[in-house]
């Protein structure tokens, strides 16, 4: 029973809430000799491993530090350029730290608003009238389940691909939203949800689900 | 009251506290505004703001689907009154076109201890309810209006809330199983493209 994240997208397609959990932090630090047997490439303001994965350093991982000095973009914190260091023989042996980076909030907002038209297109593409749009999106490493309320708010959970019963969990999250976000007079509709009560209740729910399984989630209506 | 489920039963409060709180609200508004009409308007606006939030609670708890018929809506409104106010109004006086009906209350928890003084005979004491109905229905893409046709506070035998269907807000219906036309979806898509542009430019 693993849930990776919960997302709420407002009626107009903006991400108003996201919660990540159970995403393992992957970091590898290794000492390399000259010449470097990894192909590194600078893209999207990050130095990414492009080819040659070994010892836990995977393609797609990002270089975060050189000799313990953190790197931002292609620049080290002391102002030197990472590629200058890597290409100089006398700097070796070099200790490089690689990590799998998490999505930034901006990227999440971007992806959430990307899902919105996909959902609408899906309901248009359908050969039958009255298609619900995307309810489940499955991939080899995760499953995304989406529940749209009558008012147009979308609730999404990302979980393990084998996870069943996510629809019940989504209904429960909807109840939490209607209780702890909407009944909070200081929460304005369509704005990002920053309500501690909502956060903590959601966390409790997810912990409960993790321990005892989705079948024990109780809806107030049934 | 008839709220279902164990979690919320514990939260039920004595309806008297609610009645008194609402009374305090109305009397404060009467002090703040000299004009009774303004008070009616404020109550309606407050109700509207309650309604647009309360509808989510109703949907989350009852799991009810979309209405395709105003009679359906009437039943659900009745259910809403039972859930949130603990009273079950009777649905009567359907118009022949089926777009107007009345909710009749034998008793209204809002007005339990109320006698209207002479100077505020124009006050629609429970006007918050009309706002709640308008807000809640608007969120499920239906425009309604409602007004008090009879009021026990004004000497009538029953309180009658008349509800009228105005139109469906087709453009606001989210893409999904209920999408009436492709126009609404394409408009939504245009909207979301704007959102995307904003997101990517930031």
Q: Mind listing the pLDDT tens digit for each residue in B52-65?
A: 999 999 999 898 88
CB B73 within 8 A of CB B146: no
Per-residue pLDDT averaged across B73-88, rounded?
92
Q: How confident is the model at residue B47 (pLDDT cuts 50, 70, 90)?
A: very high
Per-residue pLDDT averaged across B138-159, rounded?
92
Instruction: Give the alpha-carbon dihedral of A62, A64, A65, A68, to 10 degrees.
Output: -130
pLDDT digits (tens, 9 = 90+) for A15-51: 999 998 877 778 888 888 888 888 888 888 888 888 8
CA distance linking residue A18 with residue A69, whole number of Å: 31
Answer whether A204 touches B (CB < 8 Å): no
Per-residue pLDDT averaged across B19-27, rounded?
92
> Residue B161: its pLDDT value, please?
94
**How does strand A39-43 pair with strand A46-51?**
antiparallel
Domains of chain B: 3-201 (3.30.1380.20)
Whether residue A151 and residue B188 make contact (CB cut-off 8 A), yes or no, is no
Chain A: closest CA distance from residue B155 (Å): 35
What does chain B come to in residues? 202
**Which residues of A are less than 8 Å from B139 in CB distance?**
151
pLDDT digits (tens, 9 = 90+) for A80-138: 888 888 888 888 888 889 888 888 888 899 998 899 889 988 888 888 877 888 999 99
| Cβ-based interface (< 8 Å): residues of B facing A | 4-8, 52-57, 59-63, 65-66, 139-140, 172-179, 182, 185, 188-189, 191-193, 195-196, 199-200, 202
CB B53 within 8 A of CB B137: no
Q: Which of A131, A128, A151 is CA-nearest to residue A8?
A: A151
- Does the pLDDT of residue B146 top 80, yes or no? yes
* Residue B101, H or E segment: strand B100-105
CB B199 within 8 A of CB A109: yes
> Residue B91: its pLDDT value, please?
95
Answer whether A124 touches B (CB < 8 Å): yes
Residue B32 vs residues B43, B46, B116, B120, B131: alpha-carbon distances, Å: 13, 15, 18, 14, 20
Answer whether A123 touches B (CB < 8 Å): yes
- Top residue of A105, A120, A208 to mutate, by most chain B CBs within 10 Å, is A120
CA distance linking residue A12 with residue A214, whole number of Å: 30
> Residue A102: its pLDDT value, please?
82
> Residue B176: its pLDDT value, please?
62
Closest CA in chain B for residue A180: B57
- Does the pLDDT of residue B149 top 50, yes or no? yes
- Does the pLDDT of residue B189 top 60, yes or no? no
Q: How confident is the model at residue A205 (pLDDT cuts 50, 70, 90)?
A: very high
Partner-chain residue, chosen from A113, A175, A220, that has the shortest CB–CB distance to B199? A113
Closest CA in chain B for residue A188: B53
> Residue B181: its pLDDT value, please?
46
Q: Is the ipTM of this complex over 0.85?
A: no
- Mean pLDDT, chain A, as a whole number? 87
User: How close are the terminal C-alpha atoms of chain B, in Å?
Assistant: 50
CB A220 within 8 A of CB A175: yes
CB A160 within 8 A of CB A143: yes
Q: Which of A70-79, A94-103, A198-207, B108-117 ranks highest by mean pLDDT? A: A198-207
Per-residue pLDDT averaged across A148-169, rounded?
91
CA distance linking residue A194 with residue A205, whole number of Å: 17
Q: Which of B44, A78, B156 is CA-nearest to residue B36?
A: B44
Partner-chain residue, chosen from A12, A124, A221, that has the shortest CB–CB distance to B63? A221
Chain B: closest CA distance from residue A29 (Å): 33
In A10-60 the beta strands, taken as DSSP E runs, fall at 15-20, 27-32, 39-43, 46-51
Answer whether A153 touches B (CB < 8 Å): yes
Closest CA in chain B for residue A154: B174
Q: Give the rounded percent of residues in chain A with a pLDDT score beyond 90.
A: 31
Closest CA in chain B for residue A171: B60
Q: Which of A1-10, A120-129, A186-195, B32-41 has the lowest mean pLDDT?
A: A120-129
* Residue B168, H or E segment: strand B159-168
CA distance linking residue B11 with residue A142, whole number of Å: 38
Q: Say what the pTM is.
A: 0.82
> Residue B2: its pLDDT value, please?
37
Partner-chain residue, chosen from A120, A150, A182, that has the shortest CB–CB distance to B175? A120
> Residue B37: its pLDDT value, please?
92
Partner-chain residue, chosen from B8, B139, B173, that has the shortest CB–CB distance to A220? B8
Partner-chain residue, chosen from B4, B188, B199, that has the shortest CB–CB distance to A120? B188
> Residue B192: its pLDDT value, please?
52
* B129 phi, psi to nearest 5 deg: -65, -40
Of B198 and B89, the one with more pLDDT:
B89
> Residue A93: its pLDDT value, please?
87
Whether residue B174 and residue A148 make contact (CB cut-off 8 A), yes or no, is yes
CA distance linking residue B55 with residue A208, whole number of Å: 27
Whether residue A13 and residue B189 make contact (CB cut-off 8 A), yes or no, is no
> Residue B6: its pLDDT value, please?
40
Whether residue B55 and residue A151 make contact (CB cut-off 8 A), yes or no, is yes
- Does the pLDDT of residue B138 top 90, yes or no? yes
CA-angle at B154, arms to B153 and B159, nearest 5°:
60
**Which residues of A are less than 8 Å from B183 in CB distance?**
none
Whether residue B56 and residue A171 make contact (CB cut-off 8 A), yes or no, is no
What does chain A come to in residues? 222
A98: its two tokens: 């690689």
User: What is the DSSP code string of A77-145?
Assistant: TTS-BHHHHHH-GGG-SEEEEEEPPPPPHHHHHHHHHHHHHHHHHHHHH-SSSS-----EEE-SS-EEE
Q: Which of B64, B63, B48, B78 is CA-nearest to residue B143?
A: B48
- Does the pLDDT of residue B152 top 50, yes or no? yes
> Residue A182: its pLDDT value, please?
87
- Does the pLDDT of residue B188 top 60, yes or no? no
- Mean pLDDT, chain B, as a whole number? 83
Q: Which of A27-36, B151-160, B187-196 ranks highest by mean pLDDT? A: B151-160
Q: Which of A127-136, A155-164, A205-214, B176-185 has the lowest mean pLDDT?
A: B176-185
3-state DSSP assignment of residue B123? coil
Pairs across A and B, CB distance < 8 A: 114
């Amino acid at each position: 029973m693993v849930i990776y994240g919960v997302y709420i997208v407002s009626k107009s397609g903006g991400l108003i809430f996201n919660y990540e959990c159970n995403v393992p932090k992957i970091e590898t630090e290794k000492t390399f000799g000259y010449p470097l047997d990894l192909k590194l490439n600078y893209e999207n303001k990050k130095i990414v491993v492009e080819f040659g994965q070994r010892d836990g350093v995977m393609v797609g991982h990002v270089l975060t530090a050189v000799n313990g000095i953190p790197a931002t973009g292609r620049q080290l914190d002391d102002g030197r350029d990472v590629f200058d260091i890597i290409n100089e023989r006398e700097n070796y042996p070099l200790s490089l730290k690689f990590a799998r980076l998490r999505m930034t909030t901006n990227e999440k907002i971007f992806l959430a608003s990307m899902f919105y038209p996909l959902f609408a297109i899906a309901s248009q593409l359908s050969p039958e009238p009255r298609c619900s749009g995307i309810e489940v999106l499955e991939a080899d490493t995760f499953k995304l389940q989406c529940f749209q309320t009558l008012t147009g708010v979308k609730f999404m959970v990302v979980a393990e691909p084998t996870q069943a019963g996510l629809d019940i969990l989504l209904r429960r999250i909807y109840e939490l939203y209607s209780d702890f976000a909407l009944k909070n007079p200081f929460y304005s509709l369509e704005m990002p949800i920053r309500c501690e009560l909502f956060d903590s209740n959601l966390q409790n729910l997810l912990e409960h689900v993790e321990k005892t399984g989705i079948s024990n989630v109780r809806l107030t209506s049934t | 009251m008839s709220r279902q489920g164990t979690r919320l039963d514990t939260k039920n409060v004595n309806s008297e506290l609610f009645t008194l709180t609402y009374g305090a609200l109305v009397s404060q508004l009467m002090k703040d505004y000299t004009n009774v009409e303004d008070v009616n308007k404020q109550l309606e606006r407050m109700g509207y703001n309650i309604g647009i939030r309360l509808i989510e609670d109703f949907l989350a708890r009852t799991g009810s689907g979309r209405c395709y018929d105003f009679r359906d809506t009437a039943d659900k409104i009745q259910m809403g009154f039972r859930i949130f106010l603990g009273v079950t109004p009777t649905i009567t006086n359907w118009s022949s076109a089926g777009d107007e009906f009345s909710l009749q209350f034998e008793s209204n928890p809002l007005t339990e201890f109320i006698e209207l003084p002479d100077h505020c005979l124009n006050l629609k004491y429970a006007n918050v309810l009309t706002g709640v109905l308008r807000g809640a229905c608007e969120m499920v893409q239906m425009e309604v209006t409602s007004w008090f046709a009879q009021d026990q506070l004004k000497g009538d035998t029953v309180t009658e809330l008349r509800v009228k269907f105005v139109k469906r807000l087709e453009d606001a219906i989210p893409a999904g199983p209920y999408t009436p036309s492709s126009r609404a979806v394409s408009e939504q898509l245009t909207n979301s493209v704007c959102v995307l542009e904003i997101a990517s430019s930031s």
